[in-house]
């Protein structure tokens, strides 16, 4: 999620297990139509989140696990605040229970050479992050480059009888 020159993603390339959201159109003038996160062809390889796939975004490819908002309803990826790390880079961590957590490909997150990724970009969290406690829960990698580092647990409240 970095500002893009005209939109989140332009023609060319496949996207998978990615987040394209909250971009700003820096090229807009009063006479242009302002586009949001996607402009032109967006070729999906499955499991992506696009905050606003407006009228000028042509989605194609594998739509498995695809999440996207529209001009009337922008989908917020719910990432935490920008955090600085020892590698001198800044990152956004996924917020627990946000739409990107455990939303990656069930077969695992892979790089462009189809190699299974065993840790996130920071090399501090395994990918997927284990520790789900719910019965039948199978952890999946999070969308984006950073894995959520918190344990996800289901909350069960007691039933009240009248």
Q: What is the pLDDT of residue 9?
A: 43
- 79 phi, psi to nearest 5 deg: -100, 150
Encode pLDDT of 5-30 as tens digits: 233 344 456 889 999 998 776 665 66
- The residues, any chain, with a CB within 8 Å of residue 115's CB and separated by 6 or more, are none
Strands 79-84 and 90-94: antiparallel
- Please write the tens of the pLDDT for every residue from 67-84: 999 878 889 999 988 888
- Angle (nearest 5°) at CA 134 between 133 and 140: 80
pLDDT of 3: 32
The answer for 63, left when phi > 0, alpha when psi is -120 to 50, beta otherwise, is alpha
In which band, very low, low, confident or very high, does the pLDDT at 60 lie, cut at 50, 70 and 90? very high
Domain ranges of the chain: 14-68
**CA neighbours within 13 Å on the CB side: how many for 34?**
9
């Amino acid at each position: 999620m970095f500002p893009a020159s005209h939109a989140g993603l332009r023609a060319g390339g496949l996207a998978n297990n990615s987040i394209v959201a909250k971009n700003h159109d820096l090229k807009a003038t009063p006479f242009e139509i302002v586009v949001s996160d996607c402009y032109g062809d967006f070729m999906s390889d499955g499991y992506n989140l696009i905050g606003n796939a407006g009228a000028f975004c042509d989605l194609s490819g594998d739509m498995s696990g695809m999440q996207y908002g529209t001009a009337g309803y922008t989908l917020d990826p719910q990432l935490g605040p920008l955090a600085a790390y020892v590698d001198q880079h800044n990152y956004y961590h996924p917020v627990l229970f946000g739409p990107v957590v455990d939303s990656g490909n069930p077969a695992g997150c892979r790089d462009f050479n189809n190699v299974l990724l065993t840790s996130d970009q920071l090399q501090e969290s395994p990918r997927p992050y284990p520790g789900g406690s719910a019965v039948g829960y199978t952890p999946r990698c999070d969308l984006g480059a950073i894995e959520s580092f918190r344990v996800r647990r289901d909350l069960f409240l007691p039933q009240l009888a009248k």
